[in-house]
Structure 1
Amino acid sequence: MMVRVFVLVVLLFCKPALAMETLRVLAWPGYASPETIRSFEAAHNAIVELSVVSTDDELWNKGRHNNGGDFDVIALNSVELRRFIDKGLVTPLQLRNIPNVRRQLPRFRNLASIPGLAREGHIYGVPFTYSAMGLIYNRKLVTETPTSMNAMWDPRYRGKVLAYNSSSHSFSFTALALGLPDPFNLNTSQFRQVLDKLISLRSNVLKFYSQPEEVVDIFRDNEIALIYGNYGEQQLKLLRAAGADIGYVMPSEGALAWLDCWAIMSQASNRGLAEAWINHMLTPGVSGQLTEEQGFANTLRETPNKTMRDSDKMFWLAPVEDVQKRASYWERLMSGAAPRPRY
């Protein structure tokens, strides 16, 4: 009899744990800190399974796998969001279930006016953070502040440049360096010019990095003059915390800039929990932590000492002329081949 009572008590105490829902999150480094996850799990009696990506290509491949059934909620930029909408991988949001959108800065409240977030009257993404991709320079090796992204091709910095491992962004920022008017839509001739210039960049690049923390380690162990700052303010914060004497500039030809959002996958196993996650990420504590710990701007308040000035020329990310073509040539370039296009 005593054994039966003990088993009953154990089952009663285990029942809440067995009833816990799991939320599968796909995001970028630093977006969901351990503290943020713990507070959400405690508030919603849930378990969060976080997967982190380092490139848009990786995010696309993971996000679309199993027809999008591997994740419930995803962080992605407004351009990638369009691809996910096109393939039916994300679902329209019920903003009434995400009341913290009312806390956001005025520029982020009219979601339908932000390119890429709406389709046929439905909202698919809620802004979370944004940044420009400027040029980071080592004050000890670069004596004059660079004004152009073309500094990355300067022969003085051979083997002393870090660039980002991304097919789409690399073609676009190189197009800007060439002075092309639209970095997202390259015709045949322009594509050839950009590809040739990217091939010539390889001799200057010590490594094509993926993670922001990776840059700190490389910078510490090597003479690095210039870094393409794909993660913007996050990289600045990490490098300066490591004692690096660096500067940061927006190139004269303009800089790419991104807006990252939260979206819910069409096959989310618990839509309510996914909505609760987005709402949680828009609380002052969590969004403030993103800025304080990672250096990213958030959508609830203005970032002090922001590096993006109103006078800077920005090119907000937009769909490119041929995603697969860029990815294909980039893969061959990264493999060490000379991927000359055939025309």
Structure 2
Amino acid sequence: MALAASPLAAAAHAAEPLRVLAWVGYADPDIVKTFEQQHQCKVEITTIYSDVDLWQKVSHNNGQDFDLFAVNTAELQRYIRMGLVQGVPTAAVPNLAKQLPRFRDLRAIPGLVHGSTVYAVPYTYAEMGLIYDRKQIAQAPNSISALWDPRYKGKVVAYNGGTHNFSLAAISLGLKKPFQLSARDWPAAVDQLIALRRNVTGFYIDPDESVDLFRSRKASLMFANYGRQQLQLLQAAGVDVGYVIPKEGALAWLDCWTITRGARNRTLAAAWINYMLEPEPGKVLRTRHGLDNTTSAAPEDSPEDRLLWLEPVDSEDRRNLLWARILAGDRASKVLAP
């Protein structure tokens, strides 16, 4: 692997394509073409559609089939544990200095740095704020507790997912570790989600469904699991809505570029990461795909907004099992039963 980091190795592999795994919108054809022209190389883009799809592709041949990929900070941890990724040569990524302050200190973002090794570089993100109907709620809600406010009973739309909902409940309860619930935290979190269920008019899975629910139920408030993407969809549908990050903070996913252990050209992979931090790729993310980049602040962003980057949770299986029971209407004792 030491040879792959040298300029000589980069030249030796110049004829081989850079193999990139990317989500929809992360590597549009015109963006890829510019990189190819700048570096006189070919890039092969393989599009991924789910975390499961990504894991299968990277792990299939022990990280040998691709050079780099985009992954969120929570999922990144298992690739590190399994030895499927290697450190990013940050000296070859000078555009790190162009990143916004909250992304510049890589050690401050959980899971990016292990020991002295930087495993990933932030690229794009979205936070899960609150969307509210301006005609029904005159003043923007400033707390996540608004989802439980009896004034909005039957007017709240929420996400149908146990993993995020237990973290949401933990945040609303003021728990210090929303991703790692202790034995004594579970009963309180269950009670909180039962109360949420009673306040909600409907739960959604995808963004389009959330828009349909919000409009058809004449909802006043929504937990936006997909963030500003949902805001844009509602505005496009003619709904007068606002968006806010609650004072307790918002759950947020952060996708980063990381290099596989089997990368044939580590230098070119680092050049790709550096290029993705240039203004044009960031502009495309925002204007075409409604995604925030890590180098330029959106007009509506505030440095005071507190974002809680997703981390691996205690047990996805348990969270989803208990959530299914809550959704079915079970009482707390039955929800918590073995």
TM range (shorter): 0.7 to 0.9
- The residue type equivalent to 1:259 in the other structure is L
Rounded to whole Å, the distance in 2 between the matches of 1:62 and 1:333 is 30
Aligned to 1:23: 19
Aligned to 2:5: none
Aligned to 1:66: 60
CA contact 2:326–2:335 (8 Å) conserved in 1: no
How far is 1:124 from its partner?
0.4
Rounded to whole Å, the distance in 2 between the matches of 1:123 and 1:25 is 19
Aligned to 1:16: none
CA shift digits 1:170-222 (9 cap, x unpaired): 21111122233432332222112212332443452523323x45544554555
Over aligned residues, Cα RMSD in angstroms? 3.6
How far is 1:136 from its partner?
0.7
Normalised TM-score (structure 2): 0.75
The verdict on how the C-alpha distance between 1:48 and 1:313 changes in structure 2, with shifts beyond 3 A counting, is: closer
- Residues 1:227 and 2:222 aligned together: yes
SS in 2 for 1:227: strand
Aligned to 1:209: 205
How far is 1:336 from its partner?
4.1
Rounded to whole Å, the distance in 1 between the matches of 2:318 and 2:84 is 22
- Residues 1:137 and 2:132 aligned together: yes
Rounded to whole Å, the distance in 2 between the matches of 1:65 and 1:202 is 38
CA contact 1:160–1:225 (8 Å) conserved in 2: yes
- The residue type equivalent to 2:204 in the other structure is F
Aligned to 1:10: none
- The residue type equivalent to 1:23 in the other structure is R
Structure 2: unaligned runs, 5 residues or longer: 1-14
How far is 1:254 from its partner?
3.4
May I ask how many residue pairs the two structures share in their alignment?
A: 317
Rounded to whole Å, the distance in 2 between the matches of 1:73 and 1:213 is 31
CA shift digits 1:220-259 (9 cap, x unpaired): 5553332212333343334334432111223244333443
Aligned to 2:166: 171
CA contact 1:131–1:259 (8 Å) conserved in 2: yes
Rounded to whole Å, the distance in 2 between the matches of 1:271 and 1:103 is 22
Rounded to whole Å, the distance in 2 between the matches of 1:119 and 1:233 is 31
Aligned to 1:15: none
- The residue type equivalent to 2:19 in the other structure is L
The verdict on how the C-alpha distance between 1:107 and 1:315 changes in structure 2, with shifts beyond 3 A counting, is: closer
Alignment of 1:34-49 (within 5 A): 35-37=30-32, 39-40=34-35, 44-49=41-46
CA contact 2:59–2:84 (8 Å) conserved in 1: no
Aligned to 2:9: none
Moved more, 284-293 or 266-275: 266-275
SS in 1 for 2:335: coil
CA contact 1:22–1:49 (8 Å) conserved in 2: no
CA contact 2:19–2:67 (8 Å) conserved in 1: yes
The verdict on how the C-alpha distance between 1:47 and 1:131 changes in structure 2, with shifts beyond 3 A counting, is: closer
Alignment of 1:56-95 (within 5 A): 58=52, 62=56, 66=60, 69=63, 72-95=67-90
Rounded to whole Å, the distance in 1 between the matches of 2:322 and 2:212 is 28
CA contact 1:162–1:207 (8 Å) conserved in 2: yes
Aligned to 2:254: 259
Rounded to whole Å, the distance in 2 between the matches of 1:198 and 1:45 is 50
Moved more, 295-304 or 213-222: 213-222
Structure 1: unaligned runs, 5 residues or longer: 1-18
The verdict on how the C-alpha distance between 1:21 and 1:295 changes in structure 2, with shifts beyond 3 A counting, is: same
Aligned to 2:112: 117
Moved more, 127-136 or 265-274: 265-274
How far is 1:128 from its partner?
1.3
Rounded to whole Å, the distance in 1 between the matches of 2:270 and 2:216 is 43
Q: Percent identity?
A: 42
Rounded to whole Å, the distance in 2 between the matches of 1:32 and 1:167 is 31
SS in 2 for 1:243: coil
**Of residues 239, 247, 251 in structure 1, which corresponds to 2:234?**
239
The verdict on how the C-alpha distance between 1:205 and 1:270 changes in structure 2, with shifts beyond 3 A counting, is: farther
Alignment of 1:303-342 (within 5 A): 303-306=298-301, 308-310=302-304, 312-330=305-323, 332-333=324-325, 336=328, 338=330, 340-342=335-337
Normalised TM-score (structure 1): 0.74
